[in-house]
Amino acid sequence: MVPPEILNSKGRFYPYFKNCIGAIDGHIRVKVPKADVSRYRGRKGIPIMNILAVCTFNLRFTYVLSGWEGSASDSRILENALTREDKLKVFKGKFYLVDAGYPLRSKFFTPYRSTRYHLKEYSRYPLENMKELFNLRHASLRNVIERVFGVLKRDEDLLCQVDNELMQNDFDANEIRYIRDADARLGEQIRNDMAMRMWIEQWEVMEALDFLHVKDHEYLVERYIACDDDIKLSWLKMKMGSPIMSDVFEGYERQYCELSANLSRKYNSTFILPDGEEKKEKISLIKSGLDDCDVLIRKMDLEARSLQPSVKAMLLAKLREYKSDLNKLKREFKRITSGNADQASREELLEAGMADVHAVSADQRERLSMSVERLNQSGDRIKESRRTMLETEELGVSILEDLHQQRQTLLHAHTKVSSLSLSLSPLSLSLSPLEWEMGTEFDVERVFVVMSFV
């Protein structure tokens, strides 16, 4: 079964990653005794526990192997997970996405080495080849494991440095034995075929739209919408033969990226400092840097809105990512300056959870808006029906009151008639003999008349 997050991507991930069932990663900070610090020290000198966590695209863990010291390599931990009694199972034909610290296999796809990978690295320069496109899609999908661990909201630049270091360095010689050459070659062949197919199909869509009328080819338009902004930007630059972004925007963007990276480094150094004047001074510098980032974001927004619509849409999408990054830095600043670190961490997790809830696609927001509108219309109809019902009820009550009054009038008339009947009864009795006598006389007269004719 294809995960909905891939199936509904409208050509961005499907059908290339249709057999992908999740992502693998995992490093968490730990506090250990001084004697064990060297064994648990990670690549950046921070004591960590190296765990292997498997996560699906709907943010659910399906397998976790913990307990390994930070100095243990990812390939060694993966080999242990595949051979132990409660091992990690990978179904036939399926695969996971892993970072460059793991070996490439037919069931574990790594990004291309010595190639841009992290999402932030694609914010300035467009894609150049199929490897960069594969790495961009790979990073977008594998981002789910980083969201689960909350890495992106805390140490995104540190993560970027680690990923780049992993892709520049080869595996240690003592870890080569864990890599199966035949399986690695098969994985490389599958990855190359996937990357080549993505690259060719994306550019075919662009070229087709360049020669055809958009309104007559809805399928191509849908595929174009699903293309990455970096591919659209690359196509526009190639067609126009010159930069399509203003020098002013690029200048602001360069300043923001440098300032953001500098702030991330300051966060890492400030976090481990004890309370004192030095920490207060660095916190003050970070606060000033955040204010400068806000100013640059506003300037980029104004500049982007002055450009042509096709470029403006892509730059505004990029600005939304920058704003999201800046909000993460602000939450980190709040955590550092809070007197209660545990409370700040809880608040940060809650904020991150709410951010994930609100991070929905435009299509989902549109459907939600339409549903709300339909609910409002239904509510209006219900209110109108209730108003009509109340008016009908009032009319019915009025009719019942009229009927009650008429009944009372009829009862009163019936009572009067009954009393009048009782008063006339003696008179009728006195008139009865008189009526008999008058009737007798009338009969005698009729007899005489008859006899006279005879």
| Residue 108: per-residue pLDDT | 92
439 to each of 278, 293, 425, 426, how far by Cα in Å? 139, 126, 21, 21
Cβ neighbors of 90 (< 8 A, separation 6 or more) are: 96, 107
Q: Give the SS3 label for residue 141.
A: helix
Rounded-to-integer distance, Cα 339 and Cα 287, Å: 17
> Burial, 159: exposed, middle or buried (Cβ in 10 Å; 0-12, 13-18, 19+)?
buried
193-197, 221-225, 297-301, 433-437: least confidently modelled range:
221-225
3-state secondary structure 127-142: CCCHHHHHHHHHHHHH
Rounded-to-integer distance, Cα 236 and Cα 206, Å: 10
* 97, pLDDT greater than 90: yes
Q: Which H or E run includes 204?
A: helix 181-211
* 76, pLDDT greater than 80: yes
Average pLDDT value for the chain: 73
Q: Write out the two tokens for 393.
A: 């009820």
- Regarding predicted confidence, which is higher, 208 or 253? 253
| Residue 430: per-residue pLDDT | 63
- Regarding predicted confidence, which is higher, 447 or 60? 60
According to CATH, the topology of domain 245-362 is Methane Monooxygenase Hydroxylase; Chain G, domain 1 (1.20.58)
pLDDT single digits (tens) 174-201: 444 444 577 888 888 889 888 888 877 7
- Regarding predicted confidence, which is higher, 348 or 383? 383
Q: Contact 325/160 with Cβ under 8 angstroms?
A: no
The mean pLDDT value for 410-427 works out to: 78
Residue 152: pLDDT band (50, 70, 90) is: very low
Sort residue 245 into left (φ over 0), alpha (ψ -120 to 50) or beta: beta
Closest CA to 341 of 29, 68, 38: 29
| Residue 211: per-residue pLDDT | 45
Residue 364: what residue type?
Q
Peptide bond into 3 cis (omega under 30): no
- Regarding predicted confidence, which is higher, 310 or 343? 310
Closest CA to 104 of 43, 41, 195: 195
pLDDT single digits (tens) 367-387: 777 778 778 888 888 888 888
Rounded-to-integer distance, Cα 88 and Cα 52, Å: 10
* 54, pLDDT greater than 80: yes
Tell me which range, 45-49, 61-65, 202-206, 349-353, is most confidently predicted by mean pLDDT: 61-65
Q: Show me where the domains of the chain are located.
A: 1-240, 245-362
pTM of the entire predicted model:
0.47
The mean pLDDT value for 385-403 works out to: 86
Q: Write out the two tokens for 49.
A: 């526990």
As a whole-number percent, the residues of the chain with pLDDT over 70 amount to: 65
* 143, pLDDT greater than 60: yes
- Regarding predicted confidence, which is higher, 226 or 35? 35
Q: Contact 330/337 with Cβ under 8 angstroms?
A: no
